[in-house]
Structure 1
Amino acid sequence: MIKLDVLIIGAGPIGIACALECKKHNWNYRVIEKGALTNSLFNYPLNMTFFSTSEKLEIDNIPFISNNPKPTRNEALEYYRRVTTSNQLNINLYEQIISVEKEDNHFKVTSDKTEYSAKKVIISTGFYDIPNLLNVPGENLTKVMHYYKEAHPFTLQNIAVIGASNSSVDAALEIYRKGGNVTMIIRGEQVGERVKYWVRPDIINRIEEGSIKAYFNSEIKEILTDKVIINTPDGVETIANDYVIALTGYRPNFKFLEKAGVQFSEDEKFIPKYNSETMESNIDGLYLAGVICGGTETHKWFIENSRIHAKMIAKHIEKAL
């Protein structure tokens, strides 16, 4: 049993920010991450460019210098890696937390490698690990993907991109420019309004000129080995298809939070209960940080507006330790 003052679950940007606060207070802490450092960012598309400017992605006023105002995935990975290594933060990678249980005045935290006893626990696990499923026949085929990395494998292939968010638009444009035959299937009547302002005109123009086919107000009905069937306003359409890239969003691991005892709002937003001034959940000593605080509203919290959570949590913990 390893005894800690603070155990942080998740080594994304906000988890790293929490670790920096713990170090400044000389608390005995550790960050546990099931994957690579900043695992969600690592799994972003290789050529992704952030919507935010680099200074808005900074944590603890540590400068983030990028080649352009909008940093790339690789620049962000390097920035958070340098913050971690230069500050010698205590982080365990590739270790999965199994359970968090409150026992009297401490938490018993069990991982797939060992057990911890912590006075305080911070959960900052993001939302990128569980995709929103289409729930249609054929979704279990190997040709269906819920993550997109790069365009090259889809050259000369018939690709259906599901969704109209930043990730969907980026994938559609990249694959089109690498020689793929792209069809977008969009549930709404237009390309998402949150799409990056310098990209949105590009995808609209490609659709209007016919380079990329788009079905609006439409949904996938069924996925077959060599085609997809679509429900459209004009009836059912069947198109040739080699791969389906379903970028329909992601959601936090609600079951993990429920198992830890966290309560949620009684509506479809499923927002976890926490004190907005301290970020403490309904369980004394258990804090939430980052995008996980938004429930299904995954666009509510992101790096630039949730990095303050680390200092809010530290300020409250300071009174107890």
Structure 2
Amino acid sequence: MEEQATDVLIVGAGPIGIACALACKRENLNYIVVEKGALTNALYNYPLNMTFFSTSEKLEIDGIPFISNTPKPSRNEALEYYRRVVTSNDLKINLYETVGTITPQESGFSVSTDKAHYHTQKVIIATGFYDIPNLLNVSGEESPKVFHYYKEAHPFSLRHVAVVGASNSAVDAALEIYRKGGKVTMVIRGDNVGERVKYWVRPDIMNRIAEGSIKAYFNSTIKAIEKDKITISTPKGDVTEPNDFVLALTGYKPNFKFLEDCGITFSKDEKHIPHYNEETMETNVKGIYLAGVICGGMETHKWFIENSRIHAKLIIKHISAELS
């Protein structure tokens, strides 16, 4: 298979990958974006009725206006916005193409995917962190009744559902399922609902827990998952609850192995932050750059669309100077 030559290969077609493509186009750099799933794949996999914490102007990229019906845009509005940005700017994006290896050469890199081979001078990795869930590592987690992603409430109506976690995704799921007639039990490792939960949602979940509409076990973890029940380890001892489904919404992490295979190194603490130059976003591997939330390692709440949009400009400024 013949190698395709390009100046910049961008891995990931999320909002920040799109921002990098726009910056390349503006600087007349030859580029290609490779995405293993759908356009803005992580956003596509968000719950159907999700509302962003950020306002629409903070989700804009490259100064292109994002107009939404309410101050807090919905998932569907964001999907439409980023799609229109891509189509109206005729960006070069290959969807449903998975990058396998990125190999340094004397000049640039050889990149192999499941569909093509590329030779590129620079690589930008903007793959996010939504692909690999943090597992519970308990007996029964492999059961088909356990889900690590949540889409909508209807399948869980009139069922006993355990929601594990206390973040925005867990709280949204618990409230939606409760309002669709599900019998919800929350299992929360800490002593309260997460402080980062959207400020207009947090009172709602606290009130539902206080009135008993949603049962919650704090400072607790799931010990075992069985066909029709779960065992919960609580400060007062083990508790058994009837159960039809478990939503283990315990967060996600970047594909560290993919970065390691590229030669990227990390901090040696639990944060596992990849090494990169904050002024250029170039990693310890010369010619490979990181953009977006992947820069935070296990600190997945450090970088968002709104504060990592600047990564595209920093990267392309550095690449343009090197390739000119």
Q: Mark yes or no: TM-score above 0.5.
A: yes
| 1:267-286 alignment, distance < 5 Å | 267-286=269-288
What amino acid does structure 2 have at the position aligned with 1:291? V
Q: Structure 2 CA distance, aligned partners of 1:114 and 1:78?
A: 28
Aligned to 2:130, the other structure's residue is in SS state: coil
2:227 counterpart residue number:
225
Aligned to 1:16, the other structure's residue is in SS state: helix
Q: Are 2:25 and 1:7 aligned? A: no
Aligned to 1:75, the other structure's residue is in SS state: helix
Cα distance per residue 1:68-127 (max 9 Å; x no partner)? 000000000000000000000000000000011111121010000111000000000000
Q: Structure 2 CA distance, aligned partners of 1:269 and 1:102?
A: 27
Q: Structure 1 CA distance, aligned partners of 2:287 and 2:106?
A: 11
Q: Structure 1 CA distance, aligned partners of 2:13 and 2:96?
A: 11
Q: Structure 2 CA distance, aligned partners of 1:257 and 1:284?
A: 13
What amino acid does structure 2 have at the position aligned with 1:11? A
Aligned to 2:322, the other structure's residue is in SS state: coil
1:246 counterpart residue number:
248
What amino acid does structure 2 have at the position aligned with 1:131? P
Residue 56 of structure 1: which of 42, 55, 58 is its match?
A: 58
Residue 25 of structure 1: which of 24, 27, 44 is its match?
A: 27
CA drift at 1:25 = 1.0
Residue 85 of structure 1: which of 87, 91, 97 is its match?
A: 87
Q: Are 2:77 and 1:75 aligned? A: yes
Cα distance per residue 1:200-222 (max 9 Å; x no partner)? 00000000000000000000000
Q: Structure 1 CA distance, aligned partners of 2:156 and 2:285?
A: 47
Cα distance per residue 1:259-308 (max 9 Å; x no partner)? 00001001111100000000000011100000000000000001000010
Residue 130 of structure 2: which of 121, 124, 128 is its match?
A: 128
What amino acid does structure 2 have at the position aligned with 1:72? S
Cα distance per residue 1:128-161 (max 9 Å; x no partner)? 0000000000000000000000000001000000
Q: Structure 2 CA distance, aligned partners of 1:309 and 1:5?
A: 18
Q: Structure 2 CA distance, aligned partners of 1:277 and 1:162?
A: 38
1:111 counterpart residue number:
113
Q: Structure 1 CA distance, aligned partners of 2:241 and 2:29?
A: 59
Q: Structure 2 CA distance, aligned partners of 1:202 and 1:32?
A: 41
What amino acid does structure 2 have at the position aligned with 1:146? H
1:183 counterpart residue number:
185
1:201 counterpart residue number:
203
Q: Structure 2 CA distance, aligned partners of 1:118 and 1:172?
A: 46
Moved over 6 A (4+): none
Residue 148 of structure 1: which of 150, 154, 167 is its match?
A: 150
Q: Structure 2 CA distance, aligned partners of 1:121 and 1:278?
A: 13
Gapped regions of structure 1 (runs ≥ 5): none
Q: Structure 1 CA distance, aligned partners of 2:195 and 2:270?
A: 22
Identity %: 72
1:289 counterpart residue number:
291
1:161 counterpart residue number:
163
CA drift at 1:320 = 1.0
Q: Structure 2 CA distance, aligned partners of 1:238 and 1:104?
A: 61
